[in-house]
Amino acid sequence: MKRADGKLPNAVGNDNHAEVIDNLADGIDNRAEVIDNLADGIDNRAEVIDNLADGIDNRAEVIDNRAVGELPNGRSNTP
């Protein structure tokens, strides 16, 4: 498909450029999806941190209750 001078016809070069542009656009879309997935992961980690903080608060409350004589099952550890 080369011309007499050994070069590709313009139409072939234009098709190749269009394909490169399409591939670049696909790459940009894929990167955008990766960024979205990373953001979702960050949100999930933030939720895990919140849940851990809630668990720490709950444990602190249990410790406080035990200190004043209240056990989690409603019993008392004081006479």
d(CA 54, CA 77): 25
Find how far residue 44's CA is from the centre of its chain: 7
- Who has greater pLDDT, 67 or 35? 35
Q: Is residue 3 part of a domain?
A: no
| Residue 12 vs residue 46, higher pLDDT | 46
Number of domains in the chain: 1
What percentage of the chain reaches a pLDDT higher than 70?
Answer: 86
Question: Does the model's pTM come out above 0.75?
Answer: no
- Whether residue 64 is contained in a domain is answered as yes
Q: Provide the sign of the torsion angle of the four alpha carbons 61, 63, 59, 73, taken in this order.
A: negative
Domain range for 47 is 40-68
78, pLDDT greater than 80: no
The type of residue at 65 is N
* pLDDT (average), residues 44-64: 92
Distance, C-alpha 75 to centroid of its chain: 44
Answer yes or no: is 45 within a domain: yes
Query: 46: how many CB neighbours lie within 10 A of its CB?
Result: 10
